[in-house]
Structure 1
């Protein structure tokens, strides 16, 4: 569990000499252009924020974007991937950042309503040999790399901390909170009772862990992936955003 791995509420991590390995999948036959580097231009920065469901990470990401004048990137990733695949945005939104079967569910559900796009997408034998979910995931990776290469962005979730790990001018932040705090937050946000909020948190935690293990082969709770670890059970969202913004000048100077 993340709480077991974190002994400080806010922890600054120095890069390890040995790079932590994560799995980045090879390009699919659908795209022949080289992958962008994901490295922002000099003078620009990228912040990745991963969060436990109910810890307020998305609220903090918006505050950081507003205070630092950065682009807030969340649903834009889903919309861009959906557009490039020619699939309906509603399907992509419902399945985003969930288990390994997310893209398969999207495309199978779409098959009856938009077979023309699917026929184009999966017409070649080479593409048919790859799982449909990898096609979806791969385009998600490409979009994240493109946005990071442009720079000056706050990217929320979707494994960006793994994909951009140890890139210069990139700050990786993990937001977490005690379970009681998260339950109370979700009860208010979704008008749920205590049991319903806890069940939803457990479901989302399992989905996030499955996503990270399946696609990147890592445990996202490991602190060595992050520069800052912030417990919102102790610090307000405004304080958390201030901590992150205070770190940005140092990040911007990285070569």
Structure 2
């Protein structure tokens, strides 16, 4: 484990968590990782980057999440890894990349379950950004240039 300070930011869709993370990283003089993590994880794992983008932060049911977390916490063997479904491999590759980043540098990580990946790291601050439904809808309307109904659809996905 490292002595690097890592701030993880979980957020509600439309709450401006990414913008807050970028501003925080800028103030701290460190990098902010969000979607950049997908490219790093793809490179480190040898899996196709498009797979990471396809599975990017898709909601998972608690059974799937617990299954992956159990596999991760118990360690995984090469043969076990080869037999895993692709979504498990992608999840584990992101976790490994997050841990490598935390070992290498201080940074801000937005999303990607970074708070779980770094739960045993001593110098991690995890925050969750939330906003009112009205503010989230307004943010999504502006970000995606869509009507309110479409913004609500995006918000609940």
Q: Which TM-score bucket, shorter chain as reference?
A: 0.7 to 0.9
1:93 Cα offset (Å): 2.0
Q: Distance in 2 between matches of 1:64 and 1:149?
A: 20
Residue from 102, 109, 119 that aligns with 1:165: 119
SS at match of 1:182: helix
**TM-score (ref. length: structure 2):** 0.80
Change beyond 3 A, Cα 1:134–1:86: closer
Contact 2:38 2:52 in 1 (8 A): yes
Look up the match of 1:54.
14
CA offset digits 1:17-66 (Å, max 9, x no partner)? xxxxxxxxxxxxxxxxxxxxxx332xx31100111110000000000110
Look up the match of 1:141.
95
Where in structure 2 are the equivalents of 1:206-245 lying within 5 Å?
Answer: none
Structure 2 residue runs without a partner (length 5+): 62-77
Q: Distance in 2 between matches of 1:125 and 1:45?
A: 34
Q: Distance in 2 between matches of 1:125 and 1:152?
A: 33
Find the structure with the greater CA-based Rg.
Answer: 1
* Pairwise CA RMSD: 2.1
Normalized per residue, the structure richer in helix is 2
Look up the match of 1:68.
28
Residue from 22, 40, 64 that aligns with 1:80: 40
Contact 1:40 1:152 in 2 (8 A): no
Greater relative CO (CA pairs within 8 A, separation 6+): 2
Contact 1:100 1:133 in 2 (8 A): no
Q: Distance in 1 between matches of 2:82 and 2:57?
A: 23
**TM-score (ref. length: structure 1):** 0.51
Q: Distance in 1 between matches of 2:82 and 2:103?
A: 30
Contact 1:46 1:153 in 2 (8 A): yes
Look up the match of 1:40.
2
Q: Distance in 1 between matches of 2:80 and 2:119?
A: 30
Q: Distance in 2 between matches of 1:49 and 1:188?
A: 22
Look up the match of 1:201.
155
Contact 2:42 2:93 in 1 (8 A): no
Q: Distance in 1 between matches of 2:37 and 2:95?
A: 9
1:166 Cα offset (Å): 5.2
